[in-house]
Structure 1
Amino acid sequence: MIERVERVDEQDRVLAVVGRDEAVRRGWLHRIAVTVCRDREGRILVHRRSEHLARFPGHYEVASGGAVAVGESYEEAASRELAEELGVRPPVRFLVKFLNRGGLSPHWLAVHEAVLSDAPDPDPDAVMWHGWLSESELLRSMRENPFTPDSAVALSHYFAAAGREPA
């Protein structure tokens, strides 16, 4: 099944509906929504992608998310991805959107935040490990382990949107 996304321009206006693989292959702008999850103590959920995934197998991530489907808002995509990947349905709060030219291909990246009350129940096809890290533990882990390309830039924009530096 072909994952359909909206190809967009530099102002995030829809140009066409295309396959996601084609958008990545051709370097066309499309939309991605991610969510940084915290617990009540302020720790950040980190997960490791399953080894069999096509994109960045075995890499760690600081946010859960994926492509925004055709006709879907960034917030709807963020909520859907949390349910699919982590088995949770918390309210998501939009923080920031920016044009990200890193990673596999250029895309608009919308970063959200959610505070999880329920324990995550990750999809084992997508997530092979997850854990809660303090900000200092997370920053140390990012220096020592392979993280997806979007992780560092998403986290940087996340902290900037919150108006603070990581602890």
Structure 2
Amino acid sequence: MIIDNPEEVLDLVNEHDVVVGTILRAEVPQLAATSKGFVRAVGVFLQNSKKQLFVPARSLHKKLLPGAYDFSAAGHVASGQSYIEAAVQETAEELNIQLNTSSFRLIGTLAPLNGIPYFNHIFIVEYEETPLYNKEDFYKAEWLYPEELIESIKSGHPAKQVILPALKLL
């Protein structure tokens, strides 16, 4: 598996999430400063029967947001790939969990916000076991209630900017 592949081809979409072209992953950071378009991403929360979320912290070697709280699994949607296909793929790659599409429940879509040029589909997966997460992606993880996660972020723990808006979808 190639982590953070800058040559990955992504669909470029307009403000209605309609494909208008393609873009290399390496070019995504420049999208915020242009009106060229947006890209697609997925965020997956694993949630147990206690309603706790499996919350990993990004590997310290990550270029963006090292050590920050992240979705249980997340990633870009490759060109030609559907949101649900990306969610299944990222869950397999990052958490070593093989699930079919029926395990994923879409809880909402976050439109691009605050200069972040992504349409994010947010999914929930009911899951009881602590996954054997990929150490290339995450350096630690824990089960937290959404309120605990919100409090930790508000107290200064770094997190992806879309985590708090995504938690409002729960």
Alpha-carbon displacement from aligned partner over 1:23-80 (angstroms, at most 9, x marks no partner): 3223330101111110122111111000101121111124421100111111111111
1:58 lines up with 2:67 in the alignment: yes
- Report the residue type matching 2:161 in the other structure: P
- Please tell me whether the aligned partners of residues 63 and 151 of structure 1 are also in contact (alpha carbons under 8 angstroms): no
* Alignment TM-score, normalising by the size of structure 1: 0.86
- Name the CA distance, whole Å, in 1 between partners of 2:85 and 2:72: 16
- Report the residue type matching 2:91 in the other structure: L
Pick aligned residue for 2:158 from 136, 139, 146:
146
Q: CA, structure 1 residues 146+98, in 2 after alignment: closer, same or farther (shift >3 Å)?
A: closer
- Please tell me whether the aligned partners of residues 54 and 130 of structure 2 are also in contact (alpha carbons under 8 angstroms): no
What secondary structure sits across from 2:43 in the alignment?
Answer: strand
- Report the residue type matching 1:143 in the other structure: K
- Name the CA distance, whole Å, in 2 between partners of 1:71 and 1:155: 28
Shift of 1:102: 3.1
1:29 lines up with 2:41 in the alignment: no
Shift of 1:109: 0.9
* Alignment TM-score, normalising by the size of structure 2: 0.85
- Name the CA distance, whole Å, in 2 between partners of 1:9 and 1:29: 6
- The 5 A counterparts of 1:13-162 are 13-27=18-32, 28-90=37-99, 91-102=103-114, 105-144=116-155, 145-156=157-168, 158-159=169-170
- Please tell me whether the aligned partners of residues 6 and 17 of structure 1 are also in contact (alpha carbons under 8 angstroms): yes
Q: CA, structure 1 residues 101+63, in 2 after alignment: closer, same or farther (shift >3 Å)?
A: farther
Q: Which residue of 2 aligns with 1:165?
A: none
Equivalent pairs counted in the alignment come to 157
Alpha carbon RMSD of aligned pairs, Å? 1.6
Q: Which runs of 4+ in 1 moved over 3 A?
A: none
- Please tell me whether the aligned partners of residues 102 and 150 of structure 1 are also in contact (alpha carbons under 8 angstroms): no
- Please tell me whether the aligned partners of residues 45 and 133 of structure 1 are also in contact (alpha carbons under 8 angstroms): yes
- Please tell me whether the aligned partners of residues 59 and 139 of structure 2 are also in contact (alpha carbons under 8 angstroms): yes
Unpaired segments ≥5 residues, structure 2: none
Using the aligned pairs only, state the percent identity.
Answer: 26
- Name the CA distance, whole Å, in 2 between partners of 1:45 and 1:39: 8
Shift of 1:87: 1.2
